[in-house]
């Protein structure tokens, strides 16, 4: 099946994954009529994790770019943009907001959303599914493409595929895998949408939702096991705000760590206590069920200090 289509396609995106997906689609002869994205100042205002400008790709392929008045796309100017252009298909490339019903109604074919978790929809809807999947120690990630509705991730599924979540993955590497899945799925799906030759799978069962995560939710609970704390740190590393704890009221952000050992013991150490600091700055923390090695962090630490939950 040829990827060429005369349908008018718009992509809404503002993240690294979105740029990667768009580059892939353009390289495979899928034409994009317009880009909707955010400026850098807007990304700061709306606290977008993993923001990436679409300006370079817009200039390279001579695709016009529209910067909305609001991230929510709920202003009169933003609705007028979609009413004026009358797109056939809207796809998302890293857009962390619901698309308003008034905009979905302007699309001739529909909008394609994507959502993933360790389970098939309607399970695992909502916010921060990548972070939650890692925090919960899940072993797989299912990416699903669906026809957007005004609700939260509740449209008919039009394709899905999955990847591993292994013990070395972080939120960043999981996003790499999601990008691979999304690129190949959209490449196959868009021509089917254009021709009307696609399958719709209604969601069945009771919906479950992940709650939104905020930067302050990155506070480490030292009553968890070393493996749970490791999952927590790798789930919140860059481009997210990070997992953190306090030493004498000063925040220490931990970006990279690993379970170190379950047989070596420091019998008099408290949970959360720094029991070793190595010459290169790496350090060991005594945890429930084992030791945690921290190799990338921000802040000043010293052996013998104890991490706390108090600022």
Which residues are bridge partners to 202 per DSSP?
Answer: none
Instruction: Give me the DSSP letters along 286-297.
Output: EEBTEEEEEEEE
Same-domain status, 114 and 254:
no
In a domain? residue 303: no
In a domain? residue 244: yes
DSSP state, residue 255: E
Same-domain status, 205 and 225:
no
Domain boundary among 210, 236, 262: 210
CA distances from 189 to 81, 137, 145, 196, 284 (A): 26, 31, 9, 10, 48
Same-domain status, 206 and 225:
no
Q: What is the largest CA-CA distance in the chain?
A: 70
Q: How many CB atoms lie under 10 A from the CB of residue 69? A: 13
Whether the pLDDT of residue 273 is over 90: the answer is: yes
Domain boundary among 178, 210, 242: 210
Same-domain status, 202 and 287:
no
Confidence band of 309 (pLDDT split at 50, 70, 90): confident
SS3 assignment, position 140: strand
Same-domain status, 87 and 173:
yes
Whether the pLDDT of residue 307 is over 90: the answer is: yes
Chain mean pLDDT for the chain:
95
Domain boundary among 152, 186, 210: 210
Tell me how many domains the chain contains.
2
The percentage of the chain sitting over the pLDDT mark of 90, rounded to a whole number, equals 92
CATH at residue 74? 3.40.50.170
pLDDT mean over 66-85: 97
Same-domain status, 100 and 225:
no
Express each pLDDT in 131-175 by its tens digit.
Answer: 999 999 999 999 999 999 998 899 999 999 999 999 999 999 999
In a domain? residue 233: yes
In a domain? residue 60: yes
In a domain? residue 309: no
Q: What's the pLDDT at 3? A: 57
Q: Residue 86: which domain range?
A: 9-210
In a domain? residue 3: no
Q: What's the pLDDT at 310? A: 78
Q: What's the pLDDT at 269? A: 96
Can you tell me the distance from the alpha carbon of 64 to that of 8, in angstroms, rounded to the nearest whole number? 13
């Amino acid at each position: 099946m040829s990827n060429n289509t005369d349908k008018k396609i718009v992509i809404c995106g503002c993240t690294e994954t979105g740029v990667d997906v768009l580059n892939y689609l353009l390289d495979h002869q899928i034409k994009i009529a317009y880009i909707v994205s955010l400026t850098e100042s807007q990304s700061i205002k709306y606290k977008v994790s993993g923001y990436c400008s679409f300006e370079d790709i817009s200039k390279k392929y001579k695709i016009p770019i529209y910067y909305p008045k609001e991230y929510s796309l709920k202003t009169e100017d933003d609705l007028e943009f979609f009413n004026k252009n009358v797109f056939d298909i809207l796809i998302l490339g890293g857009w962390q907001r619901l698309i308003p019903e008034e905009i979905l109604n302007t699309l001739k074919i529909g909008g394609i959303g994507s959502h993933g978790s360790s389970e098939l929809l309607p399970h695992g809807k909502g916010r921060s599914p990548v972070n939650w999947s890692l925090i919960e120690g899940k072993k797989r990630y299912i990416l699903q493409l669906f026809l957007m509705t005004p609700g939260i991730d509740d449209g008919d599924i039009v394709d899905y595929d999955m990847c591993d979540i292994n013990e070395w993955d972080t939120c960043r590497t999981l996003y790499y895998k999601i990008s691979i899945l999304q690129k190949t799925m959209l490449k196959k799906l868009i021509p089917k949408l254009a021709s009307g030759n696609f399958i719709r799978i209604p969601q069945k069962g009771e919906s479950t939702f992940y709650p939104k995560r905020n930067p302050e939710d990155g506070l480490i609970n030292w009553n968890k096991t070393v493996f749970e704390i490791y999952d927590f740190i790798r789930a919140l590393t860059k481009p997210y705000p990070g997992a953190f704890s306090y030493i004498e009221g000063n925040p220490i952000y931990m970006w990279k760590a690993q379970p170190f050992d379950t047989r070596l013991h420091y019998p008099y150490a408290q949970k959360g206590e720094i029991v070793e600091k190595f010459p290169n700055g790496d350090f060991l923390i005594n945890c429930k069920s084992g030791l945690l090695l921290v190799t990338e962090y921000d802040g000043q630490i010293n052996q013998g200090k104890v991490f706390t939950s108090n600022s």
